[in-house]
């Protein structure tokens, strides 16, 4: 039977247990219930996990318990796990921040940069490290989607706008217009006209003429 700890150590144990519980509850709150996600919340949450693990080590060191070595060795792995977790969460947060800055919440910024805005009722359909796709709702004819391509520094390299045109003699038609990086001259366009299985590259003037003839608003 383990001997009863002296009263000062008992108080220390209660204090550290309470501290551990508070730290775990705080970390769990940031992880599952907090509506605010930012760098400070991520770092604060994982710091709480690290400090919660440090509490028993502090107790064992003060009481000179032999279990302190095991907890210390295991603590090294715990620190590595938390650091890797923090790195992944910050990376995911930066990706999310990057994705949103090219969408509806940043339409004013897009206007200032001369970038076409995203319609308010469009939804983000796909997002990855290199590509973001915005799509309209149930739109058979007209501007149906926009694909934004980004690089590793969260800079847009080019965007592609997709338009569905009215079928001609029962054959489907579509138009895609790609605009290169906005640091380049704004006449850098690549336009593709699809008529059934036939694909043909056209110039910007021809693309504009098609949209005007189809009475489709130009959003690029």
Q: pLDDT, tens digit, for every residue of 145-193?
A: 888 888 877 777 788 889 999 888 889 999 998 887 655 545 578 899 9
| Model confidence pLDDT, tens digit, residues 75-105 | 778 778 888 888 888 877 877 777 666 667 6
Number of H helices, E strands in the chain: 5, 7
CB atoms within 10 A of CB 96: 12
Same domain flag for 94 and 122: no
Q: What is the pLDDT of residue 173?
A: 92
- Total domains present in the chain: 2
CB 99 within 8 A of CB 118: no
Q: What is the pLDDT of residue 179?
A: 82
Closest CA to 189 of 219, 173, 181: 181
Tokens of 142: 């007209």
Which one has a higher pLDDT value, 132 or 71?
132
- The helix/strand/coil state of 23 is helix
Contacts of 8 (CB under 8 A, 6+ apart): none
Beta strands of 110-170 (E only): which ranges? 123-127, 131-135, 142-150, 156-168
Same domain flag for 92 and 145: no
Same domain flag for 87 and 124: no
Tell me whether residue 132 is in a domain: yes
Tell me whether residue 134 is in a domain: yes
Tell me whether residue 202 is in a domain: yes
Same domain flag for 202 and 175: yes
Same domain flag for 64 and 33: yes
What average pLDDT does the segment 136-151 reach? 81
Q: What is the pLDDT of residue 79?
A: 79
Q: What is the pLDDT of residue 175?
A: 92
pLDDT band of residue 1 (cuts 50, 70, 90) is very low
The rounded mean pLDDT for the chain is 78
Tell me whether residue 51 is in a domain: yes
Tell me whether residue 1 is in a domain: no
Determine the Cα–Cα distance for residues 72 and 193; give it in Å rounded to an integer: 66
Tell me whether residue 160 is in a domain: yes
Same domain flag for 80 and 119: no
pTM of the model: 0.59
Q: In the listed set 100, 123, 146, which residue is the last one of a domain according to the structure?
A: 100
Distance of CA 197 to the CA centre of its chain: 36
pLDDT band of residue 4 (cuts 50, 70, 90) is low
- The helix/strand/coil state of 34 is coil
Determine the Cα–Cα distance for residues 188 and 191; give it in Å rounded to an integer: 10
Same domain flag for 77 and 124: no
Q: What is the pLDDT of residue 193?
A: 92
Same domain flag for 50 and 123: no
Which contiguous run of DSSP H or E holds residue 93? helix 68-100
| Model confidence pLDDT, tens digit, residues 8-30 | 667 777 777 888 888 888 888 77
CB atoms within 10 A of CB 104: 16
Determine the Cα–Cα distance for residues 173 and 199; give it in Å rounded to an integer: 10
Same domain flag for 74 and 162: no
Determine the Cα–Cα distance for residues 34 and 25; give it in Å rounded to an integer: 12
Tell me whether residue 110 is in a domain: no
- For residue 158, the cross-strand partners are 149, 180
Q: What is the pLDDT of residue 174?
A: 92
Q: In the listed set 100, 129, 157, which residue is the last one of a domain according to the structure?
A: 100
Determine the Cα–Cα distance for residues 95 and 129; give it in Å rounded to an integer: 7
Domain of 182, in residue numbers: 115-213
Same domain flag for 123 and 165: yes
Q: In the listed set 100, 133, 165, which residue is the last one of a domain according to the structure?
A: 100
Give the CA-trace dihedral at 148, 154, 156, 160, to 10 degrees.
-10
Tell me whether residue 105 is in a domain: no
């Amino acid at each position: 039977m383990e001997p009863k700890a002296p009263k000062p150590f008992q108080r220390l144990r209660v204090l550290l247990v309470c501290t551990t519980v508070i730290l775990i509850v705080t970390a769990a709150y940031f992880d599952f219930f907090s509506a605010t996600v930012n760098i400070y919340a991520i770092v604060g949450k994982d710091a709480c996990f690290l400090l919660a693990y440090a509490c028993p080590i502090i107790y064992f060191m003060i009481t000179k318990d032999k279990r302190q070595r095991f907890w210390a060795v295991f603590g090294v792995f715990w620190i590595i796990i938390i650091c890797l977790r923090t790195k992944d969460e910050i990376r995911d947060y930066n990706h999310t921040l990057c994705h949103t800055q090219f969408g509806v919440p940043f339409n004013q910024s897009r206007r200032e940069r001369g970038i076409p805005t995203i319609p308010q009722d469009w939804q983000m359909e796909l997002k990855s490290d290199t590509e973001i796709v915005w799509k309209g709702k149930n739109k058979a004819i007209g501007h149906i989607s926009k694909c934004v391509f980004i690089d590793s520094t969260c800079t847009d390299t080019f965007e592609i706008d997709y338009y569905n045109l009215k079928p001609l003699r029962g054959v489907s038609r579509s138009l895609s217009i790609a605009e290169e990086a906005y640091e380049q001259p704004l006449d850098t366009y690549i336009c593709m006209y699809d008529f059934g299985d036939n694909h043909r590259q056209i110039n910007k003037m021809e693309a504009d003429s098609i949209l005007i003839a189809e009475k489709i608003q130009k959003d690029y």
